[in-house]
Structure formats: structure tokens, C-alpha cells
Structure 1
């Protein structure tokens, strides 16, 4: 399966063929990659801001001009675009094993925000340059209209003026949106490195029409897709199209028909337990329409969640694109932008604090512009290790292999399900690690990390890993509830047999592994009872 994710398959125009995506040679490819969030459409949380005064491009731009002056602000944005994504970012993404990148952009990067249609050539030049790097290093690039004219979401993420998706209600915004896709098709119709056109990111958020039905906005969304696709196909009949549903790209209502033979059904998943059930609705839809799936935005979670969610997606033939490649804040992106000295002082102004002096602000922002270069960021190799399940990753005990299935990947001897609706048809028992109320650790915390896998006599679970080298080992973290014997096997070969005494403390069982490009690790219990918390590859 993993040969389908290899960058050697990045060649020629991507096409939808049944429920698969194929390259120019007709080989199936499963997309793996990251989104370049914050580069061409800024989001406040990636600057560590959590207030509405500094949450979207137009407001961030206004604040920087206020505190640093217009001349500085103008050159700040040129330096920001030049530094935030460079050739080195794309090289590193390819080096780490990914095969694609999503380029989110706001319409004001490419068009003047004034009456009529006027293009910004410096904005297109940024995309052109990035595409050249993608071609050099072998990454398909998806053009993602993350912020359409007027806004398509009605939130900070689309740079809307008043948190309403005016793309669907204002004639000027609508016309600009259609013309923008026509122009993108004209400019990029011959560039095969462009993997596809992502027509609208996360259109029509929930809660827009309090007390009213929002069906008319969804109807307008469908109409926009129809007109945008028609405009593109007048010029470009080769590129793959990406269509998203409403409500954060999770609602499937718009997929009542095929919009184009060469398209993917694009969906997003964040705050969910990472089991097959989160994919089932989309798999059924893919089968019904005979069109491929793309998990085009996901992430912002614990690394163990990554280690469950994305290998499972690949086993189901679903490509994915994580969000985002770099940011300030949590270490769950490959790179963290280091906070400049005085950054809290700068952000305090956006929350009602005193305004720093012009010179002080420039000093803070100059350091920020240097820090955003990837070579100056803090790298987190454990993130990619988790995505690909290579050394440095940790898998929850509950996230054993789904395939080939019962009797091979897991014992499946139980008849009951579970109250968590998590993998409850596998015949395996999940138990809570703690019976105490659990506080959500972050906004997308689904509570799944409070679950452990119970194994008793004759039960087993298998965990797949990649890239095992000499000296690597696997370590189980578990609680032994009744005296047990635990056996660890690698591809059928016994690696360790450990007898455990009962207790309430977390204990560890380790086994040295043989080198292997890909390997299956079986954990089996012969007598007794354990609660398996995690399986780590180090």
C-alpha cells in the first residue's frame, strides 16, 4: 500500500479513476502532505492571538499598520511572504516523505479589492515560485481558495468583513469569485504539478442563520460550484477538481450528484475519535458516486491521534493533507515559529493594552520575520514519525490495525460493543484509564486518550510500523490487572515473553526489533489480564 504514497508517483496530471486518484502514467497515488496555512491567508491563532481584533488578514494588516506605520507595514508584508514559505520549506516537506502540498490563499492576494477585475501580478508570482519549487522536489500542489471574494465561510478563516459569506449574496463578490477561477485555470492549465483546484474551503459554517433555515445558502453554494466548474472547463479540461461540503467540510448534502467526472470528494476531520467509523459515511458516498475521497484538511491534535488517523486513511485508500506546516504554539506541526522577545507586549495591544512605540514594534516584528524562516524554527520530527508510524512515534493501545481484520489484525473475541462508539464492532474491549471527569485538554480533544485496550487470555492486537532500523525497539505501556504473560512478536517471530505481576502502576515491556521497511508487531496475552495504554517505537 505504501508504494502508492511514494513521491516517485508524482508525475503527470492527476485524474480521478473510479474511487482512486491516478497520475499521468495511470498509477494510483494516495496523497500525503501539509497545508501552507498562514502564508497567503493569515490566521490569528498561528500568531498566538485569540481575539477578534487580530484574527484574520484584513484585521492583522490594520493592526500592523497602526503600530508600525504604513511604510513599514508595506515592506513587512513583502518580507513576510518571502520568508514564511521558501524553497527550503518545500525541500524539507519532500525530504520527509510527503508527496503533495495545499496552498491556501485569500483572494486579495491575487485581486484588487475595488470595483472591477484587476489582477495582482506579485501575488501570482508567489504561487508561480512555489510551483517551481514543487516541480523541483516532486510535490503536487493544490490551489485552495481559502478566502473567496466576500467570504464563503463567514468566519475569520475566509477574511470576511462581517462573519457572513457574502460570496453567495453579493453580485460583485460572486462575479469576482467566478472570474478568479477562470483566471487561475487560464494561467495554470498546462502545469501538471498543480494537482488540482480546491474550489472553496469550508463553505457556509454552522450557526449563520440563527432561527432561520440556511438552505438557500447551500443552494447558492451548489450554484457557485456549477458556474465555477463551467468557467474552468471552458479553458482547462485536465485538472482535478476538489469540492467540499458545508459546515466545516463535513456535511455531505451537496454531494447528491457528480459535479464533474474528474473531481474528488473533499472532506475535513478534526474533533473526532480516529476510528474507521469517522470515514464510513464518506466511503459510502465515494462508492455511490464512484469518485475518490480526499481528507484535504485535518490535524491540530495529539500525535497519537495522527498515528491512528492517517495510517488508517491510507489503508482505506484515502489521501490526506494536514494543517498547518508551521505556526507559533503547540508542537503538533513539523515546525514551530519561535516567539520573538516582546511578543506578548505586541499582542497585549490588540487586547486593549498600551501600544508599544514604533521603534519597539519594528524591533519585535523584525525578529518575527527572521524567526518564520524554516531554518530558524524549532523542528518536531516526532510529528512526521507519528503520521507515518516510523521510529519516534507512539500508538494508543486502542489503535491496533483495522485490516486485514478479525483473527489477523486483532482477536475480536468479545461480543459486546462499547459506550464510546469507538471501534465498537471489532470485538475488542476498551476501558477507561480514569473514572474521574476529564477536562478537555484542547478544543479538538475527543476524550479518546482516556481509553485503554483490555486483553485477556488468548487475545491479541497487531500494530504496523515503518522504517525500522537496527537498534530500534518497541515499548508497551500497560497496567497488569491479573498476573499475565505477554508475548511480543515481529512479523511472526517471537521477540520477548514477559511474566507480569498484578498491580495498579503503569509498567513497561520492551523488545528489540529486526530492521524492516514495514513490520507488524503482535501483542498477545496468555493468561491474566492487562490494560494496554500504548505501543511506542523508538
Structure 2
């Protein structure tokens, strides 16, 4: 196949290559790499706050040494080869805008920021893996949470045209750079947007998509729905060569979820409920006859064999549903410190030894929204929840209601942000070799494979698509 034939394009309800053959993208998201997340690499709060604290301890030169080495070790040819060996064909690459633009010099693109991205796109291409470029953290933050590097729980992108202008400028630079790359499957313009009004996202998407098309008329666009990629009512008629991506996390698969089948947060979750949520989240795609791609899904693993067996069953049931509808998918996430990844750091690695006790404290304090519960601090959180219920019974904030709102402010901001100082202090006194060893703990050869998960994915990639 020629490079020109590698380019993908929407044809009805599927993606096809230049020969007309259908291509169903099935792969993983590379969370924790060019957009770091607290539960993935074990730090507290947001990436920018963490980096600022570590910079204060290490100084500029050694700070750059550690993070440059971490980015390089986190994904290499060995990782790409492993994913290809499982039969996967796609890696979604989450990006933090701060690699490409500095808040102190808005609109000025940082050319050096592309070095790591170029390296991984080309590594994936060598092993037959398409990549989807995903702006996971946008200027001003497009949603409320840590994964958009948002320290204040307010998505300011939707309030300030300045931030919107910067997103357009950045995407034009990215699209122009990769317009001719055949192994880039397309551009995922915003991860999990959350416009509280629901009135700005539609016009902004139209403007952004037009700007990207101007720079790169060929690549497919991947557009996440509003409210964390679950609602698509802002879209009218589908755009040409565009995939509308949903995210499909199962309630019983969250860190606090289960049993399965069983009741989580008052909801009975079984295979039928999973199918119902999938159909709800893909109603727009099925109505418009456009491809279905689940940009994120996947349960959290607990270390308890019985509970994890239920988590693998959730995964199998979701994959059955996706197969029945010809849906592509991207599992979250590929590599981490042990909560969810297909591979994870070894418990005996230098990083785990250095930060293990700290991560245990973080879990005890419930400081990670995604990776922990409030079990260790319930004596603090429950009285506040009760107070909020009594004093503000009609308060139902977007996007997930009063209780989640209160937990975010207490656990992810009040409890988590002071921990950045403790995390950074664990870098104090380390020599260059020790810093390198911490970063290299994330290299593929140093990591542990989650074999049951790998087996599920490999088996699914070997299985022919099931009929509707």
C-alpha cells in the first residue's frame, strides 16, 4: 500500500483507507505522557502545579533532564511493537497545550515541543499503528478537572474569546505540521469538553473545524460531544469526513464501583445497562449514519482478584456491544503506576520505592478524583455533604451535581494541592543517576504487563466482527 492510500476517510458509517477497505480503529490512549495525570504517574493535583513544585526543588537544568527523560522513556519502539503484537492498530495521543505554547507568550508556537510528538508518531507508524492527535488540555481548560490541567474547577475556555483564539491558532499549527502524514488518522480537537451553557461549544466547534480544514483539508476530524463526550445535541447535520466520538465509562468500573452485576450509586449495572448507556451515548452517530468510535472506556482495577474478575467481565461485555455495532475504540489507558494501565511500573522499581509511601498517603486522603475514594477522610467529607444538602437543597451544578462538585473542591483542590510540596520534596538530594532511574522506571522493559487485560484485547482483535 502506498503512503497516499494510508490516509483514512469517513465513508458512511465507517472509516476506510485509500483502497476502500474498512478500517476499525482499535487501540489505547497514551495518558500520562504529553499530558500527565495524577493517578497515572502518581503525583498529586494538576500537572502544572506539580511541575512548578518540582522545578523549585531541582532547578531548571535538572528539572528538564528528568522530564525530558521521562517523556522519552514513557513510549519507545518497544511499546509500539508490543501494542502491534496484540493486534491493535491505533494510539490516541493526549496533548497538553503547554508543550507548544507558553501562557507568557500566547500565540507563539514552541517548535521544540513537537520533537517528542514527531518521535512517537513515527515510532507508531513503523509498527503499523495509526495515531489520533488529541488536545487533552486546552488554554483556559475546556472542562473542570485535573485531566485538562485545571487548578480552579472552572472551564475558562468557554468564557474568554482569548483562550478560544489560542486554541484555533494552536490547532492550525498542529494540522499544518501533520497534513501530509499518512499514519495520522486524524485530529481529536478537544477532549471531553464541558460547556456549562451548551451555547458556545457548537459555534466554536464550527469555527475550529473550519480553521483546521484550512490548514489540513485531508485528515479526519474527531469531535467529542459536550459534557465529557456524552452529549451531541449541539451538532446539526454531520460535517464531511468527521467522526463524532463518545466516551463510555461504566459506572460499576469506577474505583468506587461494583459489584458487577450489581448496584453502584443506586443504579443497577449489568450488561443490559451497559448496552443502554452505549445506545444513549451513540444516538447521534446512529441517527446520522456516521462512524462510532469510543474514544475512552475501561474499568479501574483494584488488586482484589474477585473484584478485578468482575472488571474484566465489564470490559468483555462492553467490547461485545462495540463489536455488535461495528464501533472502534481506544482503551484508557496504556501505561501507569498500577491502577488501570495495560502495562504499569514494577512495584520494585526505583520510582515505586521512592514514591510508594507518598502514593499510599494520597490514597488515604482521597486526593485523586479518579484513583481513590473518600474512605479515609469520610469523617471530614460527610459533614460537608450533609451541610450542602441541608443549606443548598436545590443546588445542582453542572456537570455532575452537588456531591461531585463538593468532592472535587475538597479532595482534588483543598486536600491535593498542598501535597505537591511533599511530592516535590521527594526529589530533593537525588543525583543525576537517581533521577534517570526514576524516569526509566516507566520504560517498557522495566514495566509489568497486565496479562489478563492484554489477553482480552488480543483475543478481541483476533475475533471477526459480530453481526448486528
Q: Matches of 2:332 and 2:59 in 1, distance apart? A: 32
- Cα pair 2:8 2:185 within 8 Å, conserved: yes
- Identify if the C-alpha distance between structure 1 residues 137 and 154 changes in structure 2 by more than 3 Å, giving closer, same or farther: same
What is residue 13 of structure 2 aligned with on the other side? 19
Q: Matches of 1:112 and 1:242 in 2, distance apart? A: 25
Q: Matches of 1:40 and 1:221 in 2, distance apart? A: 25
Give 3-state SS (helix, strand or coil) of 1:197's partner. strand
The more displaced of 117-126 and 104-113 is 117-126
- Alignment partner of 1:220 is 2:200: yes
- Cα pair 1:151 1:159 within 8 Å, conserved: yes
The two structures have a TM-score, normalised by structure 2, of: 0.74
- Cα pair 1:315 1:403 within 8 Å, conserved: yes
- Identify if the C-alpha distance between structure 1 residues 10 and 324 changes in structure 2 by more than 3 Å, giving closer, same or farther: farther
Q: Pairwise mapping of residues 180-191 of structure 1 onto structure 2 (< 5 A)?
A: 180-191=170-181
- Identify if the C-alpha distance between structure 1 residues 28 and 314 changes in structure 2 by more than 3 Å, giving closer, same or farther: same
Displacement of 1:223 after TM fit? Answer: 1.8
Unaligned runs of 5+ in 2: 252-269, 301-310, 362-417
What is residue 263 of structure 1 aligned with on the other side? 242
What is residue 279 of structure 1 aligned with on the other side? 278
Q: How many matched pairs?
A: 374
- Identify if the C-alpha distance between structure 1 residues 92 and 380 changes in structure 2 by more than 3 Å, giving closer, same or farther: same
- Cα pair 1:241 1:263 within 8 Å, conserved: yes
Q: Pairwise mapping of residues 430-441 of structure 1 onto structure 2 (< 5 A)?
A: none
Displacement of 1:374 after TM fit? Answer: 0.8
Give 3-state SS (helix, strand or coil) of 2:326's partner. coil
What is residue 64 of structure 2 aligned with on the other side? 74
Given candidates 405, 419, 425, the residue that maps to 1:350 is 419
Displacement of 1:351 after TM fit? Answer: 6.9
Give 3-state SS (helix, strand or coil) of 1:118's partner. strand
- Cα pair 1:242 1:265 within 8 Å, conserved: yes
- Cα pair 2:86 2:458 within 8 Å, conserved: no
- Alignment partner of 1:337 is 2:383: no
- Identify if the C-alpha distance between structure 1 residues 66 and 17 changes in structure 2 by more than 3 Å, giving closer, same or farther: same
Displacement of 1:362 after TM fit? Answer: 6.8
Unaligned runs of 5+ in 1: 1-6, 206-213, 392-400, 406-538
- Which has the larger strand fraction? 1
Q: After TM superposition, where is structure 1 displaced by more than 6 Å over at least 4 residues in a row?
A: 7-10, 361-364
- Identify if the C-alpha distance between structure 1 residues 350 and 325 changes in structure 2 by more than 3 Å, giving closer, same or farther: same
Give 3-state SS (helix, strand or coil) of 2:22's partner. coil
- Alignment partner of 1:42 is 2:31: no
Q: Pairwise mapping of residues 410-429 of structure 1 onto structure 2 (< 5 A)?
A: none
Q: Which structure has the larger Rg?
A: 1
What is residue 149 of structure 2 aligned with on the other side? 159
Q: Matches of 1:185 and 1:357 in 2, distance apart? A: 37
RMSD, aligned α-carbons: 2.8
- Alignment partner of 1:234 is 2:234: no
Given candidates 88, 98, 103, the residue that maps to 1:98 is 88
Q: Matches of 1:402 and 1:192 in 2, distance apart? A: 25
Give 3-state SS (helix, strand or coil) of 2:455's partner. helix
- Cα pair 1:304 1:386 within 8 Å, conserved: no
What is residue 295 of structure 1 aligned with on the other side? 294
Displacement of 1:93 after TM fit? Answer: 0.9
Q: Matches of 2:431 and 2:249 in 1, distance apart? A: 35
- Alignment partner of 1:57 is 2:47: yes
Q: Matches of 1:232 and 1:402 in 2, distance apart? A: 33
What is residue 128 of structure 1 aligned with on the other side? 118
Displacement of 1:388 after TM fit? Answer: 4.2
- Identify if the C-alpha distance between structure 1 residues 120 and 346 changes in structure 2 by more than 3 Å, giving closer, same or farther: farther
The more displaced of 288-297 and 247-256 is 247-256
What is residue 134 of structure 2 aligned with on the other side? 144
Give 3-state SS (helix, strand or coil) of 2:105's partner. coil
Q: Matches of 2:209 and 2:178 in 1, distance apart? A: 15
Give 3-state SS (helix, strand or coil) of 1:242's partner. strand
- Identify if the C-alpha distance between structure 1 residues 24 and 402 changes in structure 2 by more than 3 Å, giving closer, same or farther: closer
- Alignment partner of 1:245 is 2:315: no
Q: Matches of 1:263 and 1:329 in 2, distance apart? A: 34
- Cα pair 1:45 1:55 within 8 Å, conserved: no
Q: Matches of 1:327 and 1:232 in 2, distance apart? A: 32
- Identify if the C-alpha distance between structure 1 residues 8 and 153 changes in structure 2 by more than 3 Å, giving closer, same or farther: farther
Give 3-state SS (helix, strand or coil) of 1:336's partner. strand
Give 3-state SS (helix, strand or coil) of 2:200's partner. helix
The two structures have a TM-score, normalised by structure 1, of: 0.65
Give 3-state SS (helix, strand or coil) of 1:39's partner. coil
- Which has the larger helix fraction? 2
- Identify if the C-alpha distance between structure 1 residues 371 and 10 changes in structure 2 by more than 3 Å, giving closer, same or farther: farther
Give 3-state SS (helix, strand or coil) of 2:131's partner. strand
- Cα pair 2:9 2:17 within 8 Å, conserved: yes
- Cα pair 1:10 1:138 within 8 Å, conserved: no
- Cα pair 2:187 2:221 within 8 Å, conserved: yes
Give 3-state SS (helix, strand or coil) of 1:73's partner. helix
